[in-house]
């Protein structure tokens, strides 16, 4: 208990020493937009990164989703482009991201933080007709947020030229690798001007990612926050041992006996997500799934309904969930444990953000005991076991 108190006190001291946005030399229009969102202190990744980007340095950033990474590159990009008005209609900043959801959310952030500036931006991605996207591109865009496939497609059609690019951001590089996009990323990089500023972000840094970074960056500043093995202290974590066949009933029981307004539930497969939705809806619980086989409209509707509290349960696969950024998400459920321990940290990091409390529970059947051991080894402690539930299965 004493150690926990000391940890808590240490965290408080760090917060007290943290700089304010005013001290990062951001211009007033951006500061006003940031304050309007209720932020006055930058997160560690923002504090470490923004000054270097403003000074024109390349960045190699190791940071998970939920650390404030998007604002860490969006704010200085807005400031740098605003300082030098465009001489033509060509794209000046490109943010390459793996999923359509993340592309949309990055554009929403840029729209929010740049609302007092005259910079134009658009997110382009597949799964929708290209008409609106090409019309906006032809009118002139300062900041382009794109997924690799649609970007290369529109480049091939002649709608996009990157010859005037000043700043390139590669976001979620490790997820690009997971999703098989590295070849596409290399194609895009080959079309970029040699004289540019490059910002490279990844939640993990395996050798393949470091090699890729070395081909993109020039003398980068290395910034790392929240090691992947650490989990947010404000998240209450626990595990329920349960037979595989009883998991759905246990989830329904949890939903009936806890009071959170929203639950993000993780499954391993798209099929498993769809099946669980049907079972929950049959039990009278509002639920929807979000994964790669869903249409763009269906995914956006599910995400919008969830954010607006019209949907109590959102069921997601790991790749689909990577782009989900939801403030004040109180509850995460690992319906199935991930096979990669680091994925557990990414999953539960959806809650407990911005100093708010969060709860993460995991269901573990006999086939998942090795996965649980791997997770506990990574995070450095054993998850507390909840045994007082009607489907308890002793390991």
Question: pLDDT tens digits for 193-219?
Answer: 999 999 999 987 888 899 999 999 999
Tokens matching residue 228: 């992947």
16-224 — its CATH code? Answer: 3.40.50.300
- How sure is the predictor about 321, in pLDDT bands with cuts at 50, 70 and 90? low
Residue 132 three-state SS: helix
Q: How far apart are the C-alpha atoms of 330 and 351, rounded to whole Å?
A: 6
Kindly report the average pLDDT of the chain as a whole number: 86
pLDDT tens readout for residues 327-364: 678 899 999 998 878 788 878 877 766 556 789 999 99
- How sure is the predictor about 230, in pLDDT bands with cuts at 50, 70 and 90? low
Of 173, 160, 167, 230, give the one whose Cα is nearest residue 200: 173
Distances (CA, A) of 354 to 85, 155, 237, 285, 388: 34, 38, 18, 28, 31
- Residue 378 pLDDT > 60, yes or no? yes
Alpha helices in the chain (DSSP H): 2-17, 28-36, 44-54, 69-83, 100-113, 131-139, 148-156, 173-178, 182-190, 207-216, 247-257, 270-282, 296-307, 318-321, 341-348, 369-379
pLDDT tens readout for residues 93-132: 999 999 888 898 899 999 999 999 999 999 999 888 888 8
* Parallel/antiparallel/unpaired status of strands 221-224 and 59-62: parallel
pLDDT tens readout for residues 66-85: 678 899 999 999 999 999 88
- How sure is the predictor about 1, in pLDDT bands with cuts at 50, 70 and 90? very low
Other Cβ atoms less than 10 A from the Cβ of 275: the count is: 15
- Residue 221 pLDDT > 90, yes or no? yes
Q: What is the pLDDT of residue 3?
A: 38
Q: Fold match between 16-224 and 235-379?
A: yes
Q: What is the pLDDT of residue 81?
A: 96
- Residue 5 pLDDT > 60, yes or no? no
Of 160, 173, 161, give the one whose Cα is nearest residue 199: 173
Torsion angle defined by CA atoms of residues 205, 192, 142 and 47, in that order, rounded to the nearest 10 degrees? 30
- How sure is the predictor about 250, in pLDDT bands with cuts at 50, 70 and 90? very high
Q: How far apart are the C-alpha atoms of 203 and 222, rounded to whole Å?
A: 13
Q: How far apart are the C-alpha atoms of 306 and 284, rounded to whole Å?
A: 16
Q: What is the pLDDT of residue 6?
A: 33
Tokens matching residue 349: 């990091």
Domain ranges of the chain: 16-224, 235-379
Query: What percentage of the chain exceeds 90 in pLDDT?
Result: 54
Q: How far apart are the C-alpha atoms of 353 and 6, rounded to whole Å?
A: 21
Q: What is the pLDDT of residue 395?
A: 52
- Residue 13 pLDDT > 80, yes or no? no
- Residue 4 pLDDT > 50, yes or no? no
- How sure is the predictor about 320, in pLDDT bands with cuts at 50, 70 and 90? low
Say yes or no: domain 235-379 is CATH 3.40.50.300. yes
pLDDT tens readout for residues 131-155: 889 999 999 999 999 999 999 999 9
Other Cβ atoms less than 10 A from the Cβ of 309: the count is: 9
pLDDT tens readout for residues 280-292: 999 999 999 987 6
Q: How far apart are the C-alpha atoms of 292 and 294, rounded to whole Å?
A: 6
Tokens matching residue 201: 């972000």
Residue 225 three-state SS: coil
On the CB side of 143, CA atoms within 13 Å amount to 27
- Residue 62 pLDDT > 70, yes or no? yes
């Amino acid at each position: 208990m004493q150690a926990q108190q000391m940890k808590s006190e240490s965290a408080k001291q760090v917060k007290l020493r943290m700089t304010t946005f005013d001290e990062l030399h951001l211009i007033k229009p951006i500061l006003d937009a940031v304050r309007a969102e209720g932020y006055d202190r930058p997160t560690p990744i923002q504090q470490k990164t923004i000054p270097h980007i403003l000074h024109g340095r390349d960045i190699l950033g190791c940071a998970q989703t939920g650390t404030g990474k998007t604002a860490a590159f969006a704010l200085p990009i807005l400031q740098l482009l605003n300082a030098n008005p465009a001489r033509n209609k060509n794209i000046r900043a490109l943010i390459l991201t793996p999923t359509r959801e993340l592309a949309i959310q990055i554009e929403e952030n840029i729209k929010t933080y740049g609302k007092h500036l005259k910079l134009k931006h658009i997110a382009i991605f597949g799964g929708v007709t290209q008409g609106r996207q090409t019309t906006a591109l032809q009118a002139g865009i300062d900041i382009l947020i794109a997924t690799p496939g649609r970007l290369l497609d529109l480049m091939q059609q002649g709608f996009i030229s990157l010859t005037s690019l000043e700043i390139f951001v590669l976001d979620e590089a490790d997820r690009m690798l997971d999703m098989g996009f590295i070849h596409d990323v290399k194609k895009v990089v080959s079309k970029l001007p040699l004289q540019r500023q490059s910002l490279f972000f990844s939640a993990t840094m395996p050798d393949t990612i470091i090699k890729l970074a070395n081909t993109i960056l020039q003398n980068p500043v290395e910034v790392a926050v929240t090691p992947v093995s650490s989990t947010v202290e404000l998240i209450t974590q626990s595990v329920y041992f349960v037979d595989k066949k009883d998991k759905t009933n246990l989830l329904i029981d949890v939903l009936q006996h806890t009071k959170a307004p929203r639950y993000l539930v993780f499954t391993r497969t798209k099929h498993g997500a769809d099946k669980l939705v049907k079972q929950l809806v049959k039990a009278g619980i509002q639920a929807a799934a979000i994964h790669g086989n869903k249409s763009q409209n269906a995914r956006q509707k599910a995400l919008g309904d969830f954010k607006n509290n019209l949907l109590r349960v959102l069921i997601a696969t790991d790749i689909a969930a990577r782009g989900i950024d939801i403030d004040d998400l109180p509850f995460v459920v690992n319906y199935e444990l991930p096979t990669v321990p680091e994925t557990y940290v990414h999953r539960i990091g959806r809650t407990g953000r911005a100093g708010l409390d969060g709860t993460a529970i995991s269901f573990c059947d006999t086939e998942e005991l090795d996965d649980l051991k791997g997770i506990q080894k990574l995070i450095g402690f054993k998850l507390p076991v909840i045994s007082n539930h009607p489907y308890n299965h002793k390991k």
